[in-house]
Chain A
Amino acid sequence: NAGVTQTPKFQVLKTGQSMTLQCAQDMNHNSMYWYRQDPGMGLRLIYYSASEGTTDKGEVPNGYNVSRLNKREFSLRLESAAPSQTSVYFCASSEQGVSYEQYFGPGTRLTVT
């Protein structure tokens, strides 16, 4: 059981470039999430997918798009990267329902120059 996997681990982009962060989970969870972590800000929800076929905006969705490719995979796309998107990105998954813990991947450290 790999849990939640993310690729890549590190990425450096120039302003205006695009990229997709990949996330996959093997726990058969219905819900998946993308967060960003910035110093002193904790984790902020970018987008989430409560179940396969649905996606919803979180707290900070601007500049991002997501695709729930299937039950296992949830990708995050930056169409035109900006320095403000320099952050550590975490994907997570869980069963549906607030009492279920979220399982996090190891993160992707993204730098936009």
Chain B
Amino acid sequence: DQQVKQNSPSLSVQEGRISILNCDYTNSMFDYFLWYKKYPAEGPTFLISISSIKDKNEDGRFTVFLNKSAKHLSLHIVPSQPGDSAVYFCAASENNAGNMLTFGGGTRLMVKP
């Protein structure tokens, strides 16, 4: 059973609008969450992270929100740009599990010019 789920396999957004990517998790021991971005034929690259002691982390156009009670996190991209078109993976980690990450299945974001 997947412990980290991204229920939307794809999302299409107009350039300049907000993109919201969602992620749900079931393991209450997860306490560190990350988002990775992946272009075709490349490896994933780190985008933004959040610790469970926070409920929001912002980096430029990217903001991650964490709702621990709902076991839900979301990534907001504002404004969306065509170069943001990629597959986005959320990942989670337990503090006492070393560097082991559990990834969601990914959401393909398409930003239309």
CB within 8 Å: A-B pair count: 69
Q: If A43-B89, A99-B32, A99-B49 touch, does A90 touch B43 (CB 8 Å cutoff)?
A: yes
Which residues of chain A in 14-56 are interfacial with respect to chain B, using CB atoms and an 8 Å cutoff? 31, 33, 35, 40-45, 48, 50
Contact of A102 with B by CB under 8 A: yes
A96 touches B99 (CB 8 A): yes
A43–B2 Cα distance when bound, in Å, is 11
The residue in chain A whose Cβ has the minimal distance to the Cβ of B5 is A42
A44 touches B103 (CB 8 A): yes
Pick the contact of B105 from A35, A41, A45, A96 — CB < 8 Å?
A41
Contact of A8 with B by CB under 8 A: no
A31 touches B105 (CB 8 A): no
A106 touches B43 (CB 8 A): yes
The residue in chain A whose Cβ has the minimal distance to the Cβ of B3 is A59
A41–B105 Cα distance when bound, in Å, is 5
Which chain A residues lie closer than 8 Å to B4 at the CB level?
42
B98 touches A98 (CB 8 A): yes
Indicate the member of A40, A48, A101, A103 with the most B CB atoms within 10 Å: A101
Q: How large, as a class, is the contact surface on chain A? A: 20 to 34
Contact of A75 with B by CB under 8 A: no
A42–B100 Cα distance when bound, in Å, is 14
Given A42-B105, A90-B43, 20 new contacts (CB under 8 A): A31-B98, A31-B99, A41-B105, A43-B44, A45-B100, A45-B101, A45-B102, A48-B99, A59-B102, A94-B99, A97-B99, A98-B94, A98-B95, A98-B97, A99-B49, A100-B99, A103-B43, A106-B43, A107-B41, A107-B42
Chain A contacts to B: CB under 8 angstroms? 4, 31, 33, 35, 40-45, 48, 50, 58-59, 90, 92, 94, 96-107
Chain B contacts to A: CB under 8 angstroms? 2, 4, 6, 9, 32, 34, 41-46, 49, 51, 89, 91, 93-95, 97-106
